[in-house]
Structure 1
């Protein structure tokens, strides 16, 4: 009797699913996706995460929830990418610098001075390079949904940097990426790769003499309290791909996949504009907070950076990818 009841229930469920599919309505299972990011809540990155969560919820009739863990609650960037690959975290916007440790093609976005200005950067990010990097990332277990940014990177230090020579011998924190380490070594500094959540403490304790950041996170993370000199160099436009585990992505209904891809592209583009506006506004605010702003001649930095291209852009594939930016 029990088996008969189970059989009848099974037939009823199958009939219900069949009716739903026949009606053209999408079939969703209640799903929660864990989204980790590294910024405080008063930051363009958090606003973007909230917008993505709202867009996905609206597109799926609230059947898919994107649960946000801000401010490095689930670890630094390396920890989070490892979590995505292990299945303990679903989504995040880690930097292209950190992702390049698993998807080397991402290093094309990490080359010093590869982007001329904001307009050039936005055009490239939202052009053919998205599809190229998506194709490179998927076999590595990472699905690219969109591109956020952390803007042009400048150099914070305890003593003023008026020229590239002022960096000689200084211990500068970099992202955990060999291109970033090699770049600051080429600038004459002693580069030290340290996880993002440890930057403030490392500056405060003297483990490092400086680091790089954009106007926005230099302000929101209060780095100016421990490194009050701010050299406007724009050595890199820092990219934060919005990614999800490829394994998780492939398990989702096609309509959910489409909702995530649409939300990722839209939110990424909006966040780029949000960050640009924030950076422009906050430079003046930083000066009002006692920050000393310098503007070193960028030409010697560019000359020193050329050896980074010679070292890291060596294969035909790498040069082809680079041409999507430089041509």
Structure 2
């Protein structure tokens, strides 16, 4: 068995027949079924985390609440899904903090470039006081925060080599649909282009954009390396995916059911953070085996260029207080 085959096997090890049967049975007999949409393939830490969350909720509520999972952007991209949550056509999802910030601006503090020093700093922040602060900000907007998943440190992929920040000058680079992300890549000298996640592969394949950003894991699982084989390890952002539910739907549940969702959301998120970290680290060699050219540009020019983004987006006292929860 090759290293690639071994990795694929390990990525699927939690999706056992027993778990699938349990979740199917729960959905069939549950008093309440929650529709959970996410954007990843099933061989991904995100999908495993949602399956684990569903199992925990089913057990804690004695089968009263079931979570029906729609993976791989089956119900649309991140903007579509957040709109669905607010409209009531979708109940739960892990949209990125970048997309959620369009409705909950306080989330933008998690989107600032180079704000997290490393994995330990990042996970300590996610599981600290900022959770309650962002929960309080999101609830009045119709969104209940249950936990934090991650998509790890973001690097830059290209149809062309990226050896330094100068190689981004004038290049069309896809970003998530968030003004901080757009401003950051413009500050890097690129021509930032916001495109929905399900369209990234085709945009790279057809040359609509020259590059994009991702983590090792989704760069691999989404096969972006097939159309953008140059991979620059920049770690410009640790990407956060809050687990959320419609506040309106949440308030219709009993206190016991609410408590089950809150506990399961935090636990599933924390486990996913560890799972993603381990998976992400293991993939760099696999990517090289698939013909990817990996570079490590000097991060200092990127950091210097990003300072103007802080000046633009963290101007109010409230925003600066949230920033202190991360940088103190």
Asked if 1:280 is matched to 2:284, the reply is no
* Distance apart, 1:29 and its partner CA: 7.4
* Distance apart, 1:281 and its partner CA: 0.1
Q: Is the 8 A contact 2:146 2:242 kept in 1?
A: yes
Distance 2:84 2:309 in 1: 30
Distance 1:77 1:54 in 2: 24
Q: How does 1:127-142 map to 2 (within 5 A)?
A: 127-142=128-143
Distance 1:257 1:273 in 2: 25
Asked if 1:61 is matched to 2:62, the reply is yes
Distance 1:53 1:29 in 2: 12
Partner of 1:89: 90
Distance 2:140 2:226 in 1: 42
Partner of 2:245: 244
Q: Deviations over 1:167-210 (max 9, x none)?
A: 00110000000000000000000000000000000000110000
Partner of 1:39: 40
Distance 2:65 2:258 in 1: 11
* Distance apart, 1:139 and its partner CA: 0.2
Partner of 2:269: 268
- For structure 2, which runs of at least 5 residues remain unmatched after alignment? 1-28
* Distance apart, 1:63 and its partner CA: 1.2
Q: Is the 8 A contact 2:30 2:66 kept in 1?
A: no
Normalised to the residue count of structure 1, the TM-score between the two structures is 0.91
SS at match of 1:65: strand
Partner of 2:21: none
- Please tell me the root mean square deviation across aligned C-alpha atoms, in Å: 0.8
Partner of 1:194: 195
Partner of 2:221: 220
Larger radius of gyration: 1
Normalised to the residue count of structure 2, the TM-score between the two structures is 0.91
Partner of 1:182: 183
Q: How does 1:86-125 map to 2 (within 5 A)?
A: 86-125=87-126
SS at match of 2:236: coil
Q: Which consecutive aligned stretches of 4+ in structure 1 deviate over 3 angstroms post-superposition?
A: none
Distance 2:313 2:62 in 1: 46
Change (3 A) 1:286 1:174: same
- For structure 1, which runs of at least 5 residues remain unmatched after alignment? 1-27
Distance 2:284 2:135 in 1: 34
Q: Is the 8 A contact 2:30 2:63 kept in 1?
A: no
